[in-house]
Amino acid sequence: MRAEKISQYLAVSVAVGLLGLGQAWGAQGKGPVKVFILAGQSNMDGQADIRTIDFLGEDKDPARAALLKTFKPDGKNLVTRDDVWVAYRGDNILQPGLGGGGKNYDKPGHCIGPEYAFGYYMGEALDNQVLLLKFGPGGTSLYQNWRPPSAGVPAGMKAEDVGGCYRGMVKEVHETLANLKKRFPGYDEKAGYEIVGFVWFQGFNDMISGGAPVAEYGKNLTCLIKDLRKEFKAPDMKVVVGVMGVNGMLNEMGKQGDIRNKMRSMNTVPEFKDNVRAIESAPLLHPDVVALQTAGWLNKERDMKKNPMTPEERAMLGRATSNKGFHYYGEGRFFILLGKAFADTMLELTGQSDKVLPPKLNGYAPPK
């Protein structure tokens, strides 16, 4: 399928100019348009500065390190795709800068989330035009903000106090799909569109709250999936759930471990067999970054008072990270790998396992 490239300097330094590029639609790929909805909170939004993508090339796994060339074929320019449209931060073709960052969400910024690699690999696999609809308001919980209608109203709350994000996303999806020709002029109305999949990456605020938000997470997520399939009249919509992986694979105790297990429980719901899958995200964080950032806490082998961080380690963190631990350290490498893992899983759920490109990143088992 068609692919274009954009200067990394432009993506980082003058992102304000990207909107013009984003509206250079070109001809639509084969119809119908394949629609994927990406939803969650700030980590679906994406808080990894574009500059940290380069750290992917330093990965200890040669197959992963080689992925940098996929996204920077000439070592300078980050790839874009005009066969993948993205309704986020304006109406754009797939490009870096469609994550979070900044206050003006009317134009691309300087961060990525999982949409960048997810869109790339879905575009690579499908002959159809792809459309990503993303909705990722930060600081939101499934228990309250995303609460779906069939989950009911929690005791002590009013109906108007819950489900704001759920209703907001549903409205945004319906409005976008009703105005595709206006928003994406290359859209072929005769060919139409098909809602194929939903990707969910969320959970931090529920985990922090503890109590009912954690205890009910599995039930509420089940309701969310069922309600969205009904709302969009897409009973076969495939669903990928990213299991929260904040601070890596050792962070399995207490509320963090509990909510991860609630997410994993989607793999045991009988009616979700072969159409919903929860995958691990923690193994995709760089182990050296996690070891340094959790030293003296999860990483009990490193005492920073006795063995302080070296200049080389500080420099490595400077290349690799751009945000806090709850934002997966703003590690561009992580969000590239995560987006690919989401795409690998979506392709498998839609019966296209033969189109998953190496390395396969969605096969990690939960820690024992």
184-235 confidence digits (pLDDT tens):
999 999 999 999 999 999 999 999 999 999 999 999 999 999 999 999 999 9
For residues 100 and 109, is the Cβ–Cβ distance under 8 A? yes
Strand partners, 78: 6
pLDDT band at 367 (very low <50, low <70, confident <90, very high): confident
Among candidates 206, 343, 316, 185, which has minimal Cα distance to 262?
206
CA distance 194 to 190: 12
pLDDT score of 10? 36
Domains of the chain by range and CATH? 4-286+321-355 (3.40.50.1110)
Among candidates 98, 80, 89, 82, which has minimal Cα distance to 27?
82
Chain length of the chain = 368
Q: Which residues contact 23 (CB under 8 A, 6 or more apart)?
A: 91, 92
CA distance 251 to 249: 6
83-136 confidence digits (pLDDT tens):
999 999 999 999 999 999 888 999 999 999 999 999 999 999 999 999 999 999
What is the mean pLDDT of the segment spanning 231-248? Answer: 98
pLDDT band at 1 (very low <50, low <70, confident <90, very high): low
312-336 confidence digits (pLDDT tens):
999 999 999 999 999 999 999 999 9
CA distance 25 to 265: 41
363 in helix, strand or coil? coil
What amino acid is encoded at 60 in this protein?
K
